Structure formats: C-alpha cells, structure tokens
Amino acid sequence: MKAQKLKYTTIAAGLVWLGGCAELSNNRASDQAEEVELQALLAQAKSEKDYRFLVFASRRLVIPGFEEQKAEQLKAQCGVRYWRSEGDVLYPSQARSSRVAKYQFASDYNQVIYTLCRQVN
C-alpha cells in the first residue's frame, strides 16, 4: 500500500514538474516573441524617423515608462501616437493582464524612442 502511494506521489510530482517546465518554456517563447516585435517596431520607427511616444488613449496623458515626468513637455518634445483600439476602460480580468503586458511593451519602446528623439532634437 505504501509503495503504491509512493508510486502515485512520484508520478504526480513528475507531472507537476513537467507542467511547470512547459509553462516556463511558454513564457520564454512569449518573451522572445515580444522582443522580436519590439525590435521590429523600433526598426520601423528608425527607418521612418518617427520618434513619437507610444501611449494609450485615456482621460489624462500618461507616457508609459515616464510616469514621473511631465507628459506635456515630453509630448511637445517628441510627440505621441496612440495605441490603436486601446482606451482606459477595462472590463474582464483577462483584459487587465493583456493591458499590463502592452503597458510594459510600450514602456520598453518609449525608453528607446526617447533616446532617439533626444539625439534628433
């Protein structure tokens, strides 16, 4: 009886471990895909010399990655472009997690764009 319990416990632990590895693998693949997308968008911005910040439509201008700085001054310096079909109203919890990922993407993008914008201006 104890041997059988040990066997099932070992199998269950192995499945949990494998599932955890699969999740880590999926996260890495997702991170790599986001990095490729970020680099492609930055390359396009450089080729078009479009150094505007990526922002979300909202009641108040917030530039991801520059929350502590004066958004209007940054907007005057580099300009902004709005992320299509993204406002400041979120309903399901899934939309919130998606928004967090998009906000982080915009923050990473804006950090690089600001450096490029300052070089030009």
Kindly list the domain boundaries of the chain, sorted by start residue. 51-120
Predicted confidence band of residue 7 (pLDDT cuts 50, 70, 90): very low
pLDDT of residue 30 exceeding 80, the answer is no
The answer to which of 13-17, 38-42, 104-108 has the lowest mean pLDDT is 13-17
Question: What does pTM read for this prediction?
Answer: 0.71
C-alpha span between 43 and 40 (Å, rounded): 5
